[in-house]
Structure 1
Amino acid sequence: MTSLRSSNDEAIQFIRGLTGYTPNDQSRLSEALQAAGYSSQDGNKNLALPGDAVIKVHLIMQGLQRHQCRERINIVVSSIASNDNLGRRGFELGLEQYIQGNPAQRGEVSTRTMATTLEAIIGAIFIDSGFDYAVISNVMARLGLGWPQ
């Protein structure tokens, strides 16, 4: 767990730099940074839902393109898309200072909150891009969430 705080403009610029994606509607990325309980009950969970799904689809497609067996694909998807891995990756990327957390968490960002935020960022970009899989493929690579070498 760690603490945060920066402006919304700084946060959007940081995410643009990380992902290489320029949003059409910055409000989606702003929402992606709002943990549950920050300003609404659900916070970024509605964006995390498609984000989680697109992460898994992306990894499955990478596995199929590499002619991997179903069991290997399942292992990789479970590992990379896990909350522990996504949370760890979010902290490695430095996202914690940009998350608007639930006031009850007193400025702390948990691994679970980080994982949900990373999923929400990917979900926001997927929706904002008009469901463009090529955009997501690039974003996933830039975030270091691709198939292991």
Structure 2
Amino acid sequence: MATPSVFLDDRMQAVEDITGYKFADPKILREALQAAGSTLSSRSDGNKRLAKVGDTALRLVLDSDGYGKGANRGMINDIICARASKSYLAEKGFRKGLDRFIYKNQAQTFVSNGVMTDTVQAILGAVWIDSKRNAFAVEDVMAALDLSWPEQGSINDLL
């Protein structure tokens, strides 16, 4: 069921469908989808503040998951470095088709890896804030975006 709001547009609805998370405050999702310099953004840095929050939430969930699985510190660090890397986040964002829903600035003809990384992180940050700091909500969105702690058999493939 769609979130009823004048702020929710087709792009935002599509991102909610991809992530499986319904925003209580769609304005924060709109902010997460705004690249720096976007005409919709009242801030020149667009979604970068949310991206910082999202990067921290991503690392927190991965660290906690590693602890819960009994992984040693080195393994946890390796997984975090791999799953929170700019290239990995960009790849997963493009694979999920998020590039079609980013509000780009007028000078952008395509979505760069950096813009995609910021957007994926910003979406996680928006979920963290919208869910009132619920790590389980972030973890669910991470799973939808293929950012979760890897299954045991694929850990060695990842490293």
Check whether TM > 0.5.
yes
User: Aligned residue for 2:36?
Assistant: 36
Q: Deviations over 1:35-75 (max 9, x none)?
A: 01113311001111110000001111111111111011111
Query: Which 4+ stretches in 1 moved above 6 angstroms?
Result: none
What is the one-letter code of the residue matched to 1:96? D
TM-score by length of 1: 0.91
Rounded Cα–Cα distance in structure 1 between residues aligned with 2:103 and 2:86: 19
User: Aligned residue for 1:3?
Assistant: none
The 8 Å contact of residues 36 and 44 in structure 2, kept in 1 or not, is answered as yes
The count of corresponding residues between Structure 1 and Structure 2 is 141
Classify the secondary structure of the residue corresponding to 2:44. Answer: coil
Q: Does 1:74 align with 2:77?
A: yes
Rounded Cα–Cα distance in structure 2 between residues aligned with 1:144 and 1:19: 10
Compute the displacement of 1:10 (Å): 1.3
User: Aligned residue for 1:99?
Assistant: 102
Of structures 1 and 2, the one scoring higher in RCO (CA 8 A, sep 6+) is: 1
Compute the displacement of 1:102 (Å): 2.0
| Structure 1 residues without counterparts, runs of 5 or longer | 1-7
TM-score by length of 2: 0.85
User: Once superposed, what is the RMSD of the aligned Cα atoms?
Assistant: 1.1
The 8 Å contact of residues 54 and 121 in structure 2, kept in 1 or not, is answered as yes
Q: Which has the larger radius of gyration?
A: 2
| Structure 2 residues without counterparts, runs of 5 or longer | 1-7, 152-159
The 8 Å contact of residues 15 and 101 in structure 2, kept in 1 or not, is answered as no
- Among 136, 141, 144, the alignment partner of 1:142 is 144
User: Aligned residue for 1:121?
Assistant: 123
Rounded Cα–Cα distance in structure 1 between residues aligned with 2:136 and 2:83: 19
